Amino acid sequence: MEKKTKLLTFITLVIVALLIILAAWWLRWREPPFPEGLVQANGRIEGDHYTVSGKWPGRVVELLAREGDLIEKGQVMVKLDDAQTQAKVNQAKSAVDVTKAQLKAAQTALSVFKKNVPLKIDTAKAGLNHADAELVSSLATEEQMLKDAERFRELLKRETVERRRSEQADLSWKVARAQHSTARAARTQAEKLLAEAELGREQIKAKENEVDALAAQVTQAEAALAEAQSVLDDLVVRAPASGMITTRIVDNGEMVAAGSPLFDIVDLDRLYLKVYVPEKEIGKVRLGLPAQIYTDAFPDKPFAATLRYIASQAEFSPKEVQTPDERVKLVYAVKLYLDENPDHQLTPGLPADTVIRWQEKTPWAKPRW
């Protein structure tokens, strides 16, 4: 009886010791519960995509980029055949040169007209004034000579003067009359010259209209040149943004249509992780929350991210969710944009886990699955 009692006591002590050891092990090595202020999820890294296409159709003569290449914004990716367009550019340049030369000649002629016409008008006016003075003077002389001739005729009738004196007076009057007639003709000619000089104003206006028309032609020719040059420039297809080429659809020698896609570029500085948050936890997250992203390639290096998008409608979990039991639940798509991607270490397509912190004071923890 005493032996049985000792045996039971021993067994009891052993069991208690094992329980104590197990309790100590559990307290020492058990994993603490996932923090309340965090939401974990998983998905794949994606990025903002840019489709590269050309404005004009043509044949590819030079391919300067391929899949996987890292390119900078503005970098040349494809060159299309530009022989015909280059000829149009040269033709447009010649048209610009010709019209500019014509414009320059018309401007020079206009400058000469503007300089000479006023001088001619002033000279013609001076000539007309002189002719007017000569006409008045000759008229006065003629009238005086006529009076003298008539007076001498009367005196001759009375025989108080010699016939020779009367004849001289008549001759003087005839000379004065001829001079007056010449002065009238001179004034008529002066009026004609002034009228011709004043026509120069109309010629100036005509030259100004010609200059304006040629200036418009120059503008039109320059616009045609700019258009042809723009088409020529567009035959060199450049990258619309920096990033990595994920898809190439064209090859050397191929004919491409206007607007047809040639490449697909993903911006490595605008990557995001698309995850799915269960319906029961979607109320905890909101735009602007911080997150940390973990990848298999860098398991101990979290990448900071910010929640920028929450879907407005729920959907069933996609197949890419890792746990099968989660695929039948309603979830909301969420996009977490990386704050930075140093050295472009992360690329589209990588699977990743994330932790979203919705309570500010909650310490960060790695995701657990």
Task: State pTM to two decimals.
Answer: 0.60
Residue 320: pLDDT band with limits 50, 70, 90:
low
Task: Compute how many other C-beta atoms are within 10 angstroms of the C-beta atom of residue 292.
Answer: 20
Tell which residue, 257, 258, 241, 262, has the closest CA to residue 52: 262
Q: Are 31 and 269 in contact (CB under 8 A)?
A: no
Q: Are 55 and 272 in contact (CB under 8 A)?
A: no
Q: Please list the residues that pair with 256 across neighbouring strands.
A: 58
Token reading at 244: 């990595």
Question: Could you tell me which residues come within 8 angstroms of residue 275 by beta carbon, excluding any fewer than 6 positions away?
Answer: 41, 42, 43, 333, 334, 336, 354
Task: Compute how many other C-beta atoms are within 10 angstroms of the C-beta atom of residue 105.
Answer: 13
CA distance 180 to 148: 16
- Greater confidence, 62 or 125? 62
Give tens-digit pLDDT for 36-71: 889 999 999 999 888 999 999 999 999 999 998 999
Please provide the average confidence, as pLDDT, over all residues in the chain: 85
Residue 175: pLDDT band with limits 50, 70, 90:
confident
Give tens-digit pLDDT for 197-223: 777 678 878 888 988 999 999 999 999
CA distance 145 to 151: 10
| pLDDT at 159 exceeding the cut of 90 | no
Domains observed in the chain: 85-232 (1.10.287.620)
User: Where are the alpha helices (H) located in 30-44, listed in sequence order?
Assistant: none
Question: Could you tell me which residues come within 8 angstroms of residue 278 by beta carbon, excluding any fewer than 6 positions away?
Answer: 326, 329, 330, 331
CA distance 103 to 107: 6
Residue 233: pLDDT band with limits 50, 70, 90:
very high
CA distance 332 to 309: 10
pLDDT for 223: 95
The helix/strand/coil state of 72 is coil
What stretch of H or E contains 136?
A: helix 83-157
